[in-house]
Amino acid sequence: MIADRVRKFFVIGFVIVFFSYLFGPLLLMSVSAFNSSAFPRVSPFECFTVEWFAVLAQDATLMEGLRNSLFIGFGVVLIAVPMGLAGALMLTQVNPRVRPWYYTVVISPILIPGVVLGISTLVFWDRLGTMFGASYDSIFYDGIFLTIVGQSTFIAAYAMLVFISRLQRFDTAQEEAALDLGATNVQAFRKVLLPFLKPAIGSAAVLAFLASFENYNTTVFTIVSESTLTTVLASKVRYGINPSISALAVVIVVLTLVGAVFYEILQRREAAAAKASEAVARGETATRAQQAALYADPAVIIALLVFIAGFGTVYFAGTLGVDECKVAVKEEKQRLARERTKMRQSLEMFKGAAPGVQTAPATTAPKVRAKGTEGYENVFAPSNLEETVDSDSPAQQKQQEQPEEKVESPGKSQFQNIFDPANLQQQSGSGGTN
Amino acid sequence: MSADVELNDVWIKFGDFVAARDVNITIEGGEFFSFLGPSGCGKTTLLRAVSGFLEPSQGTIKIGGQNMAGIGPNKRPTALIFQNLALFPLMAVWENIAFALEVRGMGKAARRKKADELLELIALPGQGDKLVHELSGGQKQRVAIARALAAEPEVLLLDEPLSALDLKLRQHMRTELRAIQQRVGITFIYITHDQGEALTMSDQVAVMREGIIEQVGDGNNIYDHPATSFVASFVGENNLFRGRITGIDGDYAMVDTNVGPLKARMTKTNGEVPLKFNDDAFVFVRPESLKFANGVNYENTVRARIAHQEFEGHFWQVYLDVAQAEKRISMSLVNDGQELGHETGSEVTLGFTPDLAVALPEGPLAAGE
């Protein structure tokens, strides 16, 4: 009994830890995309905002990279999928004794580091370009072309693996039957083998696209002067990031989730349909339960989507007040800063109000400074500083107004504003917002 | 249209392995011809050579008098029905049937019409729009036949097409196949390891062992006049007595066996008897040829003890131990309403006439004999 409970505890604990490990970073990143804080972070969560998505959409270099990545992805699909198919078909045709060698050769691009593939692609096409005396704006030096070619070398091997596993389930007698019935080799391929391989072609294309889209190691060399999403991201990370990168991550995660969910729906529907038609073949009529199974999953998914949409709407309603929230956050920051200064100020006041208790240097020091300020015409006046520090932020303008309010305080006129709380406030305030 | 198929000195080798050796067979146009043999005897290989999926290492194959060397399977006037049928799972039934017409470029409407006609022929009218996996085993079988017939072959090749069916369906399909063959009137070449199928359907049967054709003949001939010990032991049940020839008397041989002297008929090949004095010989007697002597004076008698008997409805199966024989022998007696008359364990005398026994030269036997 106790052992059972302990085991259960550990299993649940492990599951929690495991999933936190898997999804924790994604979750934190997603949350940070909606935080108005200028640095991607979750805590403190300042204001809920979708402005980073707008920032993302306006980021020209990122969008350029994304466009290139999509283009390269499609290019890689167009090259790698037929290449993988050809490689897999070849594997079924070669002599069994040669087969292991052939397999090793065609699979090797997966084992070779992407960096090596990138450099070798670059060098190879450069040599080729030199041989033909091509100029630097010819195809031999075109980053997009080189990247498509370079990525295809190993992505074709991925596609081939997909095709091999599908081909292993192909009954070669079907091909023979087609030939026997008078089909040419091309007809047998087109009418019998290709329809059978259709699902694998789809899988291989998706796999090839994703592998291309996320590739960095090879791309960073072959892209030359162009950029892809991954290279832009990498350079951004190097030179400082903002939450628009988190926003991009959210977009990608959501797209992936939606894709996965729809794929699952399709799969289940097909399985249910196959089951139902097999039942028909056995002479049973499809039971209500089986028919219901055809529609159950879409219903669940629709409910889920409605829920997500509702959740989103509620949050969007909250974002309408995002500007007020930002102002509130800034005011809160200023208030905190003011409190800090007040504390310091009152400490000073306390020191000034009790000269008898204080030691001599403490009371003479401000006087010495006061003399200096007189002589140099307020050259160290805090108001001087106020004007040089960038003053277009409204919070700072407010701060500038504050000294006037406190002009009456006796210590100030006497010490020429040297202990003006705004001095400190400004320093801490500007440090906080930048 | 039906065509003769001629195999002349055909050898098929895979490295050191010989799948067919010196095969010489002539199959008349319109004949139902079966290759019968245990699995691995090379019959499927021979069929693939006829259909064009492999070339013989030596010898020629002629179909309709034309040498088929170098002609691919899609150019030969043959259609093959595969062991697993190899229907196209992603096509509807009618598309399967019309595949041969599609690759010839026939229009869709004409294809559909032809497919519907063939569906009538195989007694599956109106099932054209179903998918293959929605059909039962027997229906798939018939669709495979229709698909092959749609190609209008002169020779239809069938590679154990009934082996996947259950017994009832198999027996039904035998009659059906024979009926279809007679309706379309083309040459059928049928591969099987099931002697029942071969004997019931075929005009001619070739019995094969390890790539060698042991005997060619009609079912009756094969069963009653086996040419070799392999044929005698493979086709039907047979009891075997080993011995040595002590005399030849025309078509009959006197054999001194371990159960006593027996007289048996010999099968002539090319007008000559295969045995001579002092040869080692096998005497085969079918279970249904053995009778209880019960005082009748038979030329051949064997003393035996009843070990076990089974009542099978229309006949009795009786197993007997013979003192010097290495194997238990069996006899079947037609159930004519009479009692068997002998108890298990009792000593009996069995009798049979020389015409119902066959003496053959010693040779290889079918597995399990």
Residues in chain B: 369
- For A15-71, the DSSP string reads HHHHHHHHHHHHHHHHHHTTB-SSSS-SSS---B--HHHHHHHH-HHHHHHHHHHHH
Q: Assess A174–B contact: CB distance below 8 Å, yes or no.
A: yes
Q: Assess B90–A contact: CB distance below 8 Å, yes or no.
A: yes
Distance, in Å, from the CA atom of A283 to the CA atom of A395, rounded to the nearest integer, reads 79
In percent, the amount of chain A with pLDDT more than 70 equals 71
Minimal CA separation from A82 to chain B, in Å: 22
Choose the closest CB to A173 out of B52, B86, B151.
B86
The pLDDT of residue A186 is 92
pTM: 0.69
CB B102 within 8 A of CB B111: yes
A164 closest CA partner among A94, A260, A72, A218: A94
In this structure, what token pair is assigned to residue B275? 């045995």
Query: How many Cβ pairs closer than 8 A exist between chain A and B?
Result: 72
pLDDT digit string, tens, across residues B128-174? 898 888 888 888 888 998 999 898 899 999 998 888 778 888 888 88
Question: CA triplet B124, B127, B131: central angle to 5 degrees?
Answer: 125
Tell the CATH topology of A60-242. MetI-like fold (1.10.3720)
Does the pLDDT of residue A429 top 60, yes or no? Answer: no
pLDDT, mean of residues B280-307: 87
Q: Assess B78–A contact: CB distance below 8 Å, yes or no.
A: yes
B93 closest CA partner among B116, B59, B77, B68: B116
If contacts are CB pairs under 8 Å, which of residues 119-178 in chain B contact chain A?
131, 133-136, 147-148, 150-151
3-state helix, strand, coil in chain A (%, to 5): 80, 0, 20
The pLDDT of residue A408 is 46
Q: Which chain B residue is nearest to residue A175, measuring alpha carbons?
A: B86
Q: Assess B82–A contact: CB distance below 8 Å, yes or no.
A: yes
Averaged pLDDT of chain B = 87
pLDDT digit string, tens, across residues B345-362? 888 888 898 888 998 888
Minimal CA separation from B59 to chain A, in Å: 22
Distance, in Å, from the CA atom of A219 to the CA atom of A250, rounded to the nearest integer, reads 23
Asked if B103 lies within 8 A of A195 by C-beta distance, the reply is no
Q: How far is CA A13 from CA A1, A8, A21, A25, in A?
A: 18, 8, 12, 18
Asked if B134 lies within 8 A of A177 by C-beta distance, the reply is no
Q: B74 to chain A: which residues are within 8 Å by CB?
A: 179-184
For B304, phi and psi rounded to 5 degrees?
Answer: -150, 165
For residue A386, give the H/E element and its range: helix A382-388
In this structure, what token pair is assigned to residue A218? 């090879």
Q: Assess A314–B contact: CB distance below 8 Å, yes or no.
A: no
Q: Assess A186–B contact: CB distance below 8 Å, yes or no.
A: no
B315-321 vs B280-285, strand pairing mode: unpaired
Minimal CA separation from A73 to chain B, in Å: 30
Choose the closest CB to B53 out of A176, A187, A192.
A176
Choose the closest CB to A179 out of B73, B87, B102.
B73
User: Which of B45, B50, B51, B82 best probes binding to A when mutated, by most A CB atoms within 10 angstroms?
Assistant: B82
pLDDT, mean of residues A263-282: 76
Minimal CA separation from B100 to chain A, in Å: 5
In this structure, what token pair is assigned to residue A23? 């999804």
Residues in chain A: 434
Does the pLDDT of residue A101 top 90, yes or no? Answer: yes
Asked if B99 lies within 8 A of A181 by C-beta distance, the reply is yes
Choose the closest CB to A177 out of B86, B90, B131.
B86
B210 closest CA partner among B39, B7, B29: B39
Question: CA triplet A307, A308, A312: central angle to 5 degrees?
Answer: 115
In this structure, what token pair is assigned to residue B227? 């040419």
For residue B156, give the H/E element and its range: strand B155-159
Choose the closest CB to B86 out of A174, A277, A280.
A174
pLDDT, mean of residues A243-272: 84
The pLDDT of residue A165 is 92
- Asked if the bond preceding A44 is cis, omega within 30° of 0, the reply is yes
Minimal CA separation from B191 to chain A, in Å: 17
pLDDT digit string, tens, across residues A68-92? 999 999 999 999 999 999 999 999 8
Minimal CA separation from A141 to chain B, in Å: 46
Q: A187 to chain B: which residues are within 8 Å by CB?
A: 103
Tell me the Ramachandran region of residue B101: left when phi exceeds 0, alpha when psi lies from -120 to 50, beta otherwise.
Answer: alpha
Distance, in Å, from the CA atom of A87 to the CA atom of A38, rounded to the nearest integer, reads 50
Q: B150 to chain A: which residues are within 8 Å by CB?
A: 181
Distance, in Å, from the CA atom of B129 to the CA atom of B98, rounded to the nearest integer, reads 12
Distance, in Å, from the CA atom of B226 to the CA atom of B358, rounded to the nearest integer, reads 8
In this structure, what token pair is assigned to residue B10? 């055909």
Query: What ipTM was predicted for this assembly?
Result: 0.81
How far the first Cα of chain B sits from its last, in Å, is 43
Question: CA triplet B356, B361, B367: central angle to 5 degrees?
Answer: 85
Distance, in Å, from the CA atom of B137 to the CA atom of A95, rounded to the nearest integer, reads 35
Q: Name the strands in the sheet holding B347-352, side by side, starting at the edge strand that comes first in the sequence.
A: B291-292, B347-352, B300-311, B315-321, B329-334
Helix (H, G, I), strand (E, B) or coil at B59: strand
CATH 1.10.3720.10 occupies which residues in chain A?
60-242
Q: Assess A285–B contact: CB distance below 8 Å, yes or no.
A: no
Helix axes A244-281, A51-58, angle to 10 degrees: 100
Q: B99 to chain A: which residues are within 8 Å by CB?
A: 178, 181, 183, 191
Most confident of A310-324, A338-352, B189-203: B189-203
